[in-house]
Amino acid sequence: MKQNIQHLIQKFTEGQLSLKEHIELADQLADEQNLTAEVVLNQDWQEKLLSEINPDHDLKPILDRVHHQIRLNEEAGSQRLNWWLSFQRIAAILIFPLLLSFLAYFYWPSKPAVIPVSYAEIQCPMGVRTKFQLPDGSTGFLNSGSRLKYPVQFIGERKVELSGEAFFNVVHNKEIPFHVNTRNLDIKVLGTTFNVIANEDETTEEIVLQTGKVDVSTLTGKKLAILKPNEQIRLDIEKQTFVKNEVEASQYTTWKEGKLVFRNENMQQVAQRLSRWYNAEVVVDDRLLDNYSFHATFMDEPLDEVLKLLSITTPLSFKEEKRASNADGIFQKRKIILRINQSKINHFK
C-alpha cells in the first residue's frame, strides 16, 4: 500500500499520472481512515521541500486544514451518492497541486533581491589634474595619470578604489564610514581631508592626514595605524613594513594647486614624478644617481626649466631623444635620459 502511494505521488509530481491513477490517488487522500497516505505525503514533502523551507514554520496545521477540505468527513451510517464520491475525487485532484503551490509560495524562503551596482571611473590624463565629486557630496582632486572607481550610487556602504594620487574631502556620515581601497590598503574615514599616493609603478604607498581622523589597515584586515592631523604613514609594499611620521600636511597637498614639490626624493622618484606631471618618459640611466636626492618647489614651470635646475643642483646631465612618430602620424612622448655627469661629481661630494 505504502509503496503504491509513493509511486502515485512520484508520478504526480512528474506530471505522468493517468486519469485512472488520478482518481486512485484522490481516493487514497480522501480516505479519512487511510493514515498511510498522510504519512507518505508528509515524507514526500519533507524530502522535496523542507530542506529549503524555513524550519520555524509548522506545516502540520496547514496539512490538517487541507486534508479537512479534501476528505469531507463522512457521517456514520449516512447514505452517499455516487455523484458526491465523484465530486470528492475531483476536489482532491484539484486541491493537491494547490497545496503544493500554496506552501511553496508562502513558505519557501525568498532570497533578497540582488541590486546590481553600476560603477563610474575617472581617468585623469597625464599632465593634468582633475576635480571630482562623488554621489554622497564628497569632493577631491585626482593627480596626473591617476584613476578613481566608485559606484554611481552608494548603497549600504561608501567605498571607492584608487590607483595613483588623490586628495579627498569626505562628507561626514557617522553611520556610513567612507573607505578608500588601494592595491594594498584600506583607509576608513568618517569625515576628513587627506591625501593618498598609491601609484602602481612605485614600491610604496603613502597617506597624509590634513584634518579629522583615518584608520589605516591592509586589505587583509591587519590594523596598521590611526592617523591624526599632520601625520603620515608610508607602507613599503615589498617588505610589508610601515613608518609613521609627523609632517606638515599642507606641503603634501599643494599639487592640486599646480605646485610640483620634491621633498628630498631620490632620482628614481623624481623621474617618475616628472613623467606623470609632464606626460613624458623620464628615465634614469645611471645607478650612481641613486645616491643623490632633490628638494625643490616648482609652479607652472616647463619641463626644460626643471631639468636645467636639476643639472645645476646635482651632478646630472640630461639628453632628449628624437621623437618618433606613430603610424597614425602622432608623435610619441618626449623621452629624456638622465645620466651622471662625471665632471661634476667632485663638486657634490
Per-residue pLDDT tens digits of the chain, which is 349 residues long? 656 766 776 666 665 667 677 667 667 666 645 556 555 566 655 565 445 445 454 544 444 444 444 444 444 344 444 444 444 444 444 455 555 555 555 455 555 555 678 999 999 999 999 999 999 999 999 999 999 999 999 988 999 999 999 999 999 998 999 999 999 999 999 889 999 999 998 999 999 999 999 999 999 999 999 999 999 999 999 999 999 999 999 989 999 999 999 988 899 999 999 999 999 999 999 888 888 888 899 998 999 999 999 899 888 899 999 887 777 777 788 999 999 988 877 776 6
Q: Rounded to 5 degrees, what angle do the CA atoms 185, 187, 192 make?
A: 155
Question: DSSP secondary structure string, 207-241?
Answer: EEEEES-EEEEETTS-EEEEE-TTEEEEEETTTTE
Distance from the Cα of residue 244 to its chain's centroid: 28
CA contacts within 13 A on the Cβ side of 109: 11
Residues 248 and 282 in one domain: no
Residues 199 and 211 in one domain: yes
140-146: long-range contacts, CB 8 A cutoff, minimum separation 24 = 140/166, 140/167, 140/168, 140/169, 141/166, 141/167, 141/256, 142/166, 143/255, 143/256, 143/276, 144/276, 144/277, 144/279, 145/199, 145/276, 146/199
- Residue finishing a domain among 84, 107, 130: 107
pTM for the structure as a whole: 0.64
Nearest to residue 123, comparing CAs of 159, 100, 149? 149
Residues for the chain: how many in total? 349
Domain containing residue 26: 2-107
Q: Is the dihedral of CA 324, 327, 328, 333 positive or negative?
A: negative
Residues 347 and 276 in one domain: yes
Residue 164 lies in a domain: yes
d(CA 315, CA 33): 106
Three-class SS state of 119: strand
Residues 147 and 251 in one domain: yes
Residues 103 and 143 in one domain: no
Residues 206 and 327 in one domain: no
Residues 181 and 270 in one domain: no
CATH number for the domain spanning 279: value is: 3.55.50.30
- Residue finishing a domain among 208, 240, 257: 257
CATH number for the domain spanning 161: value is: 2.60.120.1440
Q: Could you tell me the three cell numbers for 231?
A: 601625520
